[in-house]
Copies of this chain bind each other. A is one copy, B any other.
């Protein structure tokens, strides 16, 4: 985790690599107006410092037969707070659950879930997620239209 703040060249590099994670080093160096070895050193430094966590192919869910997506909120049964870490481990183990955060507000957790279709989504929630001891009050918000999808992080949000 870098304490070193990122300068504008680092940010440009991140911008390029968020737009195209397979951009070649010469591509990046051209776009940020840097020599190739310079650029290479910066990219590696960004990787080493953990600024770049990983590179990932973005796969279209439908092509994998994943036609349903939902945000699911859940609470922990008040009597089961001692089991919180176990519940979280269960959540991590379900491949259908893509993301999970604890959140402020009315719910304890918010999850992003995919499934083949609405039926199998419902089955997953009922037969698997709700069966985890301590899980309570499962509510789902089915995703209908994708208005904005997985935008890259803004590299220079004004102060």
Contact = CB atoms under 8 A, between A and B. Distances in A.
Contacts of A88: 147
A41 interface: no
Given A103-B142, A141-B104, A153-B66, A56 B59 contact: no
Name the prevailing secondary structure of the A interface residues.
mixed
Contacts of A142: 103-105
Interface of A: 1-2, 6, 11, 14, 17-22, 49-66, 69-71, 88, 91-92, 95-105, 107, 109-111, 114-116, 120, 139-157, 159
Contacts of A21: 21-22, 54-57
A56 B115 contact: no
A100 B139 contact: no
A144 B103 CA distance: 5
B105 A151 contact: no
Nearest to A148: B100
A144 B107 CA distance: 12
A96 B154 contact: yes
Given A6-B63, A71-B110, A141-B103, A147 B54 contact: no
B52 A59 contact: yes
Contacts of A104: 140-142, 144
A52 to B, nearest CB: 5
A142 B140 CA distance: 18
A67 to B, nearest CB: 11
23 contacts: A19-B56, A20-B56, A21-B22, A21-B55, A50-B60, A51-B59, A52-B58, A52-B59, A52-B60, A59-B153, A64-B155, A64-B157, A66-B153, A66-B154, A70-B103, A92-B147, A97-B148, A99-B149, A103-B143, A104-B140, A110-B141, A114-B153, A120-B157
